[in-house]
Amino acid sequence: MAAGDEAAASTVTVSLNNKDDKPRRRRPAASREENHHRYRPWAMLTSFHAGYFRISLALSGQALLWRMLTMASDDDDSSTAAATDTELRALPLVRSLPSAAFLLLWSLALLALLALAALYAARCLLRSHAVLAEFRHHVAMNYLFAPWISCLLLLQSAPFLRPDAPPYHLLWWAFSLPILALDVKIYGQWFTQGRRFLSMVANPASHITVIGNLVTARAAAKMGWHEGAVAIFAVGAAHYLVLFVTLYQRFLGSDSLPAMLRPVFFLFFAAPSMASLAWNAISSSFDTCCKMLFFLSLFLFASLVRMY
């Protein structure tokens, strides 16, 4: 038998039970081994990335929202002298509903964050090269802020910790130092890599870096560290202005990004919204600056909805 006939006989077999007597090609051994490797328990870590922390980020933000509603209802309850009878009857209902939702959301956000952190820690151990590539990527780098922002949001909405407690201060330092280190890395590249570097690497996901600074500033203000909160807020506000102008000049419409990445445009109004909350904590009042930031975020949100 010729060599070509031997190769053909090794890859093609005829099924005797096939009614049509059509040949059926065997899968090569290399392909079977690759498929087996793909379905190993740790193979999913290759496709897992820091962008999945958006789940915990969204849940943590909702938990903080309901926490603020609960605290607002408590403040209203403490000033019942000027409240009407209708408001007094509505206070128990307003206070009970956000509390139940807050406890559920906070627990769910904590579980989601712990699960994602465990997966990412395993990825750091088993897929360190992929983590290093993610750290060097100009888009994926921004999502490394997401787990630390989630931790700070959960810290601010924790039902069992007060801002003046020593554990609160220790956790703030543990969650804020990685954000400050990533700030130095990203903002240092903006200043040292040339004047066109920012225009090339800036993208809507870069707003997450600004949001990280604003969340850190709000947590510092809650602890009473006024000067530190103002300093971190100033850094975030300055870079938000530069980033907003850069992105406004680059992206003239939703066609500038692929359809899969278009939802990140909604980060445009997330930064001024968080800035409004941070300045409210710094100034201890919802003053004119907070209102300006709030209406700016509302205008950007309406513009994005109109674009879609």
| Alpha-carbon 153 to chain mean position | 11
Residue at a domain's end among 100, 115, 142 = 142
Residues 298 and 170 in one domain: yes
Give the domain range for residue 272. Answer: 161-308
Residue 21 is predicted with a pLDDT of 45
Residue 1 lies in a domain: no
Residues 114 and 214 in one domain: no
Residues 131 and 200 in one domain: no
* In the predicted structure, residue 178 carries a pLDDT above the cut 90: yes
Q: What is the dihedral of CA 99, 171, 229, 163, to 10 degrees?
A: 40
Q: CA 281 to CA 217: how far, in whole Å?
A: 9
Residues 133 and 173 in one domain: no
Residue 96 is predicted with a pLDDT of 58
Residue 138 lies in a domain: yes
Residue 39 lies in a domain: no
Residue 265 lies in a domain: yes
Contact status, residue 53 vs residue 150, Cβ threshold 8 Å: yes
Residue 155 lies in a domain: no
Residue 23 lies in a domain: no
Residues 101 and 138 in one domain: yes
Residue 154 lies in a domain: no
Q: CA 304 to CA 257: how far, in whole Å?
A: 14
Residues forming a β-bridge with 13? 24
Residues 58 and 108 in one domain: yes
Q: CA 152 to CA 53: how far, in whole Å?
A: 13
How many domains, the chain? 2
Residues 227 and 296 in one domain: yes
Residues 235 and 306 in one domain: yes
Residues 132 and 174 in one domain: no
Residue 297 lies in a domain: yes
pLDDT in tens, 202-225: 788 888 999 999 999 999 999 989
59-68, 78-87, 248-257, 290-299: least confidently modelled range:
78-87
Q: CA 115 to CA 109: how far, in whole Å?
A: 10
Residues 293 and 239 in one domain: yes
Which two structure tokens, joined as six digits, stand for 66?
A: 């309901």
Residues 65 and 200 in one domain: no
Residues 267 and 301 in one domain: yes
**Among 216, 143, 140, which residue's Cα sits nearest to residue 174?**
216
pLDDT in tens, 40-76: 556 677 778 888 898 999 999 988 888 887 776 555 4
How confident is the model over 25-53, as a mean pLDDT? 60
* In the predicted structure, residue 255 carries a pLDDT above the cut 70: no
Q: CA 286 to CA 81: how far, in whole Å?
A: 22
